[in-house]
Structure 1
Amino acid sequence: MEKWFNVGKIVNTQGIKGEVRVISKTDFPEKRYKAGNVLYLFMPNASKPIELTVKSHRTHKNFNLLTFEGFTNINEVEKFRDGILKVPETQLDTLEEDEFYYHEIIGCLVATVQGEEIGKVTEILSPGANDVWVVKGKGGKEQLIPYIHDVVKKVDVKEKVILIEPMEGLLS
């Protein structure tokens, strides 16, 4: 059975020429939304996904705006609202050393190099220069861990363990 990975959610249309607004959930939007790339749309009540080929991509505010080949007006894409765009596992590329997919990091246990358990990664934020991992501890308290070499010392996605060396003041 094929494994699928979320790329984004279509939340609305944009204009009248068949463009849709997507809240992105992908690690590599520049790859996933490239013209000619194939995405699969999963609708809440549909039995099988709709195969869509990206025609164009641009960003506007916090959204990725996409058009798909064969869909040229708002009436054809309105029905895609609330659909989830996904890719099959076979479309995942091999990554460079120190690069990871979000699904590999989320759920990992984070501990200091001294052995103090911090919590599990629940979410990944991409505010700018580097990703920030949201780590939820035992008491429900969240810590924000920047994914930079000065802090993150070891990532083992097979064992689902991340070791960090916190800078002064990082953990509250």
Structure 2
Amino acid sequence: MEEFLQVGAIANTHGIAGEVKIYSMTDDIMRFKKLKEVYLDTGRERMLLHVVSCKFVKNQPVLKFREFKNINEIEPYKRCGLFVSRDQAVPLGKDEYYIADLIGLKVLREEGSYLGELVDVLQTGANDVYVVKMEDGREILLPVIRDCIKKVDLEQREIVVHLMKGLLDE
């Protein structure tokens, strides 16, 4: 399992005092209000940053970090990812999973045969959609609904699915 979970990325600067607009990658944008520290992935290292303030502009989080005093200091980090350690992550409910934990899981049919590997999760609003890459290179989209996703086992690193009629032309 990943030690760090991505909660967002620096989208752009905001003003000249070193504040940044955040592209949120979490279901709960209000989590940024409670955020005390975050790790900035510079591409070379993960830098620990301390959140001084958080406000929202047009429903987008705007953060100020203690480590950056002005726009010139933060500008080079636009488009860099922001991560939290797993112990700082928002707690999950029953049958909820972090996307980072799902990527790479084996996907099996109900009878046990191998279908493919989970390569992406699309968040559509109504329900998520699992993108499964099959052995022949094709991708199949599986809606994350009870009729289709029967079991997610993070310990065994596998997902058991029921292929609904019309999902796979065989």
Task: Name the SS of the counterpart of 2:21 in structure 1.
Answer: strand
Is this contact kept in 1: 2:39–2:47, CA < 8 A? Answer: yes
TM-score scaled by length of structure 2: 0.79
Deviating more after overlay: 96-105 vs 151-160: 96-105
Task: Name the SS of the counterpart of 1:12 in structure 2.
Answer: strand
* 1:170 counterpart letter in structure 2: L
Which of 49, 55, 60 lines up with 1:51 in the alignment?
A: 49
Task: Name the SS of the counterpart of 2:83 in structure 1.
Answer: strand
In the TM superposition, what whole-angstrom CA distance separates every residue of 1:71-94 from its partner, at most 9, and x where no partner exists?
686445313213221111221344
C-alpha deviation, 1:11, in angstroms: 4.2
Is this contact kept in 1: 2:10–2:81, CA < 8 A? Answer: yes
1:46-125 matches, cutoff 5 A: 46=45, 49-53=47-51, 55-57=54-56, 64-69=60-65, 74-125=71-122
**Which residue is 1:126 aligned to?**
123
**Which residue is 2:150 aligned to?**
153
* CA distance, structure 2, for counterparts of residue 150 and residue 72 of structure 1: 52
Is this contact kept in 1: 2:103–2:119, CA < 8 A? Answer: yes
Quote the RMSD (CA, aligned, Å). 2.8
Deviating more after overlay: 133-142 vs 3-12: 3-12
Task: Name the SS of the counterpart of 1:33 in structure 2.
Answer: helix
Specify whether residues 169 and 76 from structure 1 end up closer, same or farther in structure 2 by C-alpha distance, changes over 3 A only.
Answer: same
C-alpha deviation, 1:59, in angstroms: 6.3
TM-score scaled by length of structure 1: 0.78
Aligned residues: 165
Deviating more after overlay: 87-96 vs 66-75: 66-75
Task: Name the SS of the counterpart of 1:34 in structure 2.
Answer: helix
C-alpha deviation, 1:162, in angstroms: 0.7
Structure 2 residue runs without a partner (length 5+): none
* 1:68 counterpart letter in structure 2: K
Identity of matched residues, %:
34
